[in-house]
Amino acid sequence: MNAIKNFNKAILPKFKKSLYFEGLRQLRIGGIVLAVLVALGSAREYLGNISFNTKGAFPLRYSLIQELPIVFSDTAWLVFFLCAIFAVIAAFTLTSFTRSAKARDFYYATPHAGGTLWLNFAAACLTWIAAGAGSFLLVSCLFLMPFDAKIFGVCLFIACNVLAAVFMVFAMAMLAISLTGRLINALVNLLGLSVISTCVKIAFSEGYNVVYSSFHLLVPSSELYGYDPVYHIYRRVFFDYGGSELIEFAPEYAVFASWSTVGYCLLWGCVMLAAAAFFMTIRTGDSAGQPFVNKAAHVISLTVDYLPVAVVLAMILREATLSIRDGGIVIDGQSIVNTLIVLLIIFGCCWGLELLLTFDVKHSHRSFMLMPIPIALALIIMAVGYFDSKAEFNTTPTADEVESFTLVRNDSLPDELVMFRLRDTLGRWVTDETEIKDSAIIEYATAQLKDLSDRYGDNFEKAYQGRFSMMDYDNAPIRDGKKLISIRLNLKNGKRITRLIGFDDEHITALQNVFLNNGEYMKKFLALPSADQVNAVVDEAYGLTREETKAIYKSFLKEYNALSDEEKLAFMREAMELSYRMNSDEVIEGEETPVQTVTPTDISLISKSKEVGQYGIVMSYLTENNENYGPSLTIAINGYPEGHLYEYEKWYDYSLSVRSKQFPKTVALIVKTCNAKFADAQKEFKASAEKQKKLDYRTDELSVAYITRSKTLNVRYILIIGAKQEESVLNFPGNKAMYLSDDEPETIIKEVEVDSDAMVKELFADIQSTETIDFTRPYACVRWFNSVDDDFTVYTFFAQTDFPDAAA
């Protein structure tokens, strides 16, 4: 007994400084290259973003803060990718003694247990990975902290996020390695573990229902499950990291809501690393080069390796043998034939995998014996899905059984309810804290649920009865004319269930009224933060300073607070109409501002195109001169309470349109402030006017649009002198002259590529001989973005006009 005790004690992994440093030393080149690549890659992304922002119409500081999720998602993905690749390569490099007999003979003959070697080398790998993440943190701080020192918290958090995700990848690689003595088996293990990690993540994430049903297993529809954040460990884990999903679904949450992701990655990573440590501790040198190191590892390896096969099999079995309806597809045919095909596929998979794992053609018939593994796993998956679905069908409460319900927050609330989630703090209040007890709505919701359950339940049973024809299924449209909202029903027996219910217009209005009639909610909803609470006021129009916009905001607040609740609500609704948008990159002309009312006859001057703020000036000018809209200033307010920079849910996010009719004093202040800005712009433009006369149309910085009447031709024409700029939305396709009809000024008669110096000179001569340009008057410009595939054509026109005087 003592011997066993001593033996175990002796082989327990120990930290040895010398071995740890040896690991660091062996990886030093890779580690340093990683840190440098991460630093350069991050720097490049940041420079790109800063460069992009300086070219845009936004003040750099605030736009960067505003776009942090995008900035970080671009950068963090790159860092994750580099670090993850390094982690896998480093893990395989330092554990060569588990696979190569030569390395085994060296390392296992040292006075260190295999577990000790593994532990110290793993620590070395992690240190270099941490150095990579540290390099990312350093560069992030260097580039972003000058804009706001509080960004450090966000930078640190993102670095932790990346580190945790890479840690999980590393742990996966280590476990994959520890289970076998061969490279190919380790790689297959890694693939299997990746699938398992994704499944675990799916099971605990918001994507649970969506992904689950898209696997076409046994879940008939996500409607039955709703979108329930109860399952959340929030959204971002390893595989989401691999793509743009970091921000794709909800930029407003993006990286800021993923402490839970860090937790998941660390926890799951630790579990895998502990398992790896266990297997490394009990394995001996004999196993190097062997497919399986011991019986336990053999069983785990096979399960891990066969899991992806089993998932696919579950899908095929369901489709081919049970004819389950999925996505409207039903496979017609004989069940026996389909079953035989499935069995053939299973055997093919098993045989291929066995061959891959053992390289033993002679004994690959053993794969027959392995067939039960994927079949059993597939059946387990199907059974779990079946009983899970059955349980859902059977939970269809009546209106009497429902105490109340709450809205479940997600990104697909219909527009009518969008205003109720305008701010995330309110969004939480709406979804988590407001129990709706309106009996009519509950009656409606439960009736919808019953109908839903009946239809799917019926289809479900038919599927298991082996009905193959689409006609057998009740495909009556459930969503038509309705808006889908996830609700959580709180039953009288204490149980809570979440379902996705289609609401018609009448009941959407009823839902709206629930909130409108709630005094406590409206009080919260209509209250705006004070100017002192707001950390960043972003003016996207006039290029105003923070102080100027704050002053305008203060004036606005004063007038706003004097309004009645009805007036405030009306303002809020209108503001929403005007400023609602998905993403700051997606500025759609004509929707956000009524620029379509401009005709070419309004445009009388030419100028450079990239003056910061000009676009906004014209937008504002056009808006102010449009009788439908009246003068307005759109101000986006992004704020965060002290100490909550990385908790995006606590950020303020308003977009306000200020109108003269409602807020005359504020508008007067806006006009005064903006005219002062125009004066500055005039001075600046005067200085550049001289340069304008010496146009060098070939420089990258240049892009000029002329609209004028030709001296020689009896048509108007616009000459676009463009310059190609890579990697920017301001990507000019080239130089072009467009001839416009005199009678119909908006009609382009023909377009000519301007591809020679002589032609440019000729066109310039033509223009300069017709009109005189007064650069000293206030000017404004507007851009049209024409998008064909990914190529943007930017047309820039400048309008010269007198802006409304402040006094007026």
Partner 1 sequence: MINATNVTKKFGDLTALDNVGLTVETGSVFGLVGSNGAGKSTFMRAISGIYRLDGGSISIDGRDISQGPEVRNKLIYVPDDLYFIPNSNMDSMARLCANSRTDFDEKLYAELSDKFEASRKKPIRTMSKGMKRQAALILAIASKPDILLIDETFDGLDVIKRHDMKEILCDAVADRGLTVILATHSMREVDDMCDTIAMLHKGRITLQSELDEAKTVLCKVQIAFPDTFNQDAVEFEGAGIVNFKCDGTVATVIYENGREEVERQLKAKNPLLMNVLPLSLEEVFIYKNR
CA atoms within 13 Å, Cβ hemisphere of 733: 16
Residues 780 and 596 sit within 8 Å (Cβ to Cβ): no
Identify residue 662 by its one-letter amino acid code: Q
Return the number of the residue (278 or 803) whose C-beta is nearest partner 1. 278
Return the number of the residue (125 or 667) whose C-beta is nearest partner 1. 125
Query: Interface with partner 1 by CB under 8 A: which range of 11-19, 529-537, 690-698, 799-807?
Result: 11-19
Identify residue 733 by its one-letter amino acid code: P
Among 214, 284, 517, 741, binds partner 1 (CB under 8 A): 284
Among 18, 334, 599, 714, binds partner 1 (CB under 8 A): 18
Binding flag, residue 15, partner 1 (CB under 8 A): no
Return the number of the residue (121 or 227) whose C-beta is nearest partner 1. 121
Residues 179-218 vs partner 1: string with x where CB under 8 A?
----------------------------------------
Q: How far is CA 409 from CA 60, 237, 416, 458, 491, in A?
A: 32, 20, 14, 30, 19
What is the smallest separation between the CB atom of 6 and partner 1, expressed in angstroms? 6
Residues 233-272 vs partner 1: string with x where CB under 8 A?
----------------------------------------
Return the number of the residue (104 or 236) whose C-beta is nearest partner 1. 104
What is the smallest separation between the CB atom of 303 and partner 1, expressed in angstroms? 24
What is the smallest separation between the CB atom of 291 and partner 1, expressed in angstroms? 12
Residues 631 and 619 sit within 8 Å (Cβ to Cβ): no
Number of shown-chain residues binding partner 1 (CB under 8 A): 31
Query: Interface with partner 1 by CB under 8 A: which range of 214-222, 223-231, 281-289, 337-345?
Result: 281-289
What is the smallest separation between the CB atom of 69 and partner 1, expressed in angstroms? 41
Return the number of the residue (185 or 446) whose C-beta is nearest partner 1. 185
Query: Interface with partner 1 by CB under 8 A: which range of 45-53, 165-173, 278-286, 733-741?
Result: 278-286
Tokens of 792: 């943007």
What is the smallest separation between the CB atom of 295 and partner 1, expressed in angstroms? 14
Query: Interface with partner 1 by CB under 8 A: which range of 141-149, 271-279, 284-292, 625-633?
Result: 284-292
Return the number of the residue (13 or 613) whose C-beta is nearest partner 1. 13
Query: Interface with partner 1 by CB under 8 A: which range of 8-16, 143-151, 395-403, 466-474?
Result: 8-16
Angle between helices 372-394 and 439-464 (to 10 degrees): 150
Query: Interface with partner 1 by CB under 8 A: which range of 121-129, 283-291, 456-464, 727-735?
Result: 283-291
Return the number of the residue (18 or 334) whose C-beta is nearest partner 1. 18
What is the smallest separation between the CB atom of 276 and partner 1, expressed in angstroms? 19
Q: How far is CA 416 from the centre of its chain?
A: 24
CA distance 765 to 553: 48
Query: Interface with partner 1 by CB under 8 A: which range of 3-11, 154-162, 239-247, 686-694?
Result: 3-11
Residues 582-601 vs partner 1: string with x where CB under 8 A?
--------------------
CA distance 54 to 31: 34
Strand ranges across the sheet with 536-539 = 536-539, 632-639, 652-659
What is the smallest separation between the CB atom of 172 and partner 1, expressed in angstroms? 24
Binding residues among 599-638 for partner 1 as defined by CB under 8 A = none
Q: What are phi and psi of 706, to 5 degrees?
A: -115, 140
Q: What are phi and psi of 58, to 5 degrees?
A: -105, 145
Least Cα distance to 218 among 400, 545, 464 occurs for 464
Query: Interface with partner 1 by CB under 8 A: which range of 13-21, 69-77, 228-236, 786-794?
Result: 13-21
Q: How far is CA 65 from CA 71, 109, 584, in A?
A: 9, 56, 12
Binding residues among 89-148 for partner 1 as defined by CB under 8 A = 93, 100-113, 116
Q: What is the DSSP string of 272-330?
A: HHHHHHHHHHH--GGGTT-S-SSHHHHHHHHHHHHHHHHHHHHHHIIIIIS---BTTB-
CA distance 460 to 224: 12
User: What is the end-to-end Cα distance of the chain in Å, rounded?
Assistant: 98
Tokens of 241: 């990291």
Residues 794 and 785 sit within 8 Å (Cβ to Cβ): yes
Return the number of the residue (108 or 739) whose C-beta is nearest partner 1. 108
What is the smallest separation between the CB atom of 93 and partner 1, expressed in angstroms? 8
What is the smallest separation between the CB atom of 351 and partner 1, expressed in angstroms? 22
Query: Interface with partner 1 by CB under 8 A: which range of 5-13, 32-40, 144-152, 171-179?
Result: 5-13
Tokens of 750: 């023909």
Least Cα distance to 78 among 130, 15, 133, 126 occurs for 133
CA distance 52 to 792: 15
Return the number of the residue (109 or 807) whose C-beta is nearest partner 1. 109
Residues 286-305 vs partner 1: string with x where CB under 8 A?
x-------------------
Residues 755 and 583 sit within 8 Å (Cβ to Cβ): no
Binding flag, residue 698, partner 1 (CB under 8 A): no
CA distance 688 to 690: 5
CA distance 255 to 246: 7
Vertex 27: Cα angle to 21 and 31 (nearest 5): 110
What is the smallest separation between the CB atom of 18 and partner 1, expressed in angstroms? 4
Binding flag, residue 19, partner 1 (CB under 8 A): yes
538 has which bridge partners?
636
What is the smallest separation between the CB atom of 182 and partner 1, expressed in angstroms? 16
Return the number of the residue (93 or 425) whose C-beta is nearest partner 1. 93
Vertex 497: Cα angle to 496 and 498 (nearest 5): 130
Measured from the Cβ of residue 390, the count of other Cβ atoms closer than 10 Å reads 13
Binding site for partner 1 (CB under 8 A): 3, 6-7, 9-11, 18-19, 21-22, 25-26, 93, 100-113, 116, 284-286
